[in-house]
Structure 1
Amino acid sequence: MKREELEAMGLAKDAIDKIMDLNGADINAAKAPVNQLQAQVETLTGQLQTATDGLKAFEGVDVNSLKEQISKLQSDMQAQKEAFAFDSMLDGAIRDAKGRNVKAIRSLLDIESLKTSKNQAEDIKAQLERCQSENGWAFGSDDAANSGLQTAATGAEHGTGGTVGTEDGVEAAFARLNPNLKID
């Protein structure tokens, strides 16, 4: 509605001013929701553009291939976890059996059969007992004859030598060669 149209109808100026004020208030009241909706449309348009740009990064990606890779990685991680648990159990059992060298003792065991065993703890114990009886040298045994090691070398087997717990053989030989020299 325009002022000229109201004047053409023959209305008084005061009446026209009041009508124009009421009409302006109605127009402004109607503009507020339109402005809010326009701002919402602009926000949603920006979000849609951001989402569209983000989806472009995934163009050409084979989702099934990614699922297969994830599945493979999960199974690899499970296998590593089981291998670590087995190695820890075996190394602990070797240490408990007073093994002198874990790596050497592991080489004497049938590791593959132990890995696939249903009762690993019992089978490890049995193999370690068998290995200990066959290879006593590899374990910290108190029985010197079983280990095959001499308890003390005195040098007596090579002629004149000392005994364990007495003076050093080098010092004794030096003293015999130099009787007048005192060593403190």
Structure 2
Amino acid sequence: MKREELRDLGLSDEQVSKVMGMHSAELNDVRANLQDATSERDQLKKQLEDNDNELTKLRDSAKDNETLQKQLDDLQGKFDQSKQDSENTIKTLKLNNAVDLSIAKSHARNTKAVKALIDMDKVKMTDDGLSGLDDQLSSLQESDSYLFEDQHNDTSNSTHKGNPSGGNGEGTDDRAAFKAALGLKD
């Protein structure tokens, strides 16, 4: 979304600034979620690495002691489970961040509202990207179009009634409808 595109739609500089502010706020939320997930993933990887190193040291030092060997085997089992849980958490974080990004790219007005309507059991992460999300987003765009920004790039057939500044009173209904569509107050 560019300022020039919004100006071409007939928005004033103030309206363009408000729209860009809302768009930036939504993108900042997505970026913050991605940064949090990346930090959490890195922390989990470091924790797994430390646990693995500790288990290796213990195993090397306790080869002859049966009790210690049993404890090590128990710890290894717990470590393996912890590693599996961490990998599952990382997969879930990657999937959620990819879904959030795709929803934002679909020009959703509210990412959280759209995500609440997505059946995440049908969305899978593959080598080619996400599967099962595009169909759901397309369906939502048809059934609940109010959740998404209008994406009409062809402004060549646009007509505006009256003075866009509203000086003579003509076109004020169009302007009020446009503000209402953007969620702006008079």
TM-score bracket, normalised by the shorter chain, equals: 0.3 to 0.5
> Which of the pair has more CA radius of gyration?
1
Q: If the length of structure 2 is used for normalisation, what is the TM-score?
A: 0.42
Larger relative contact order, structure 1 or 2 (CA cutoff 8 Å, min sep 6): 2
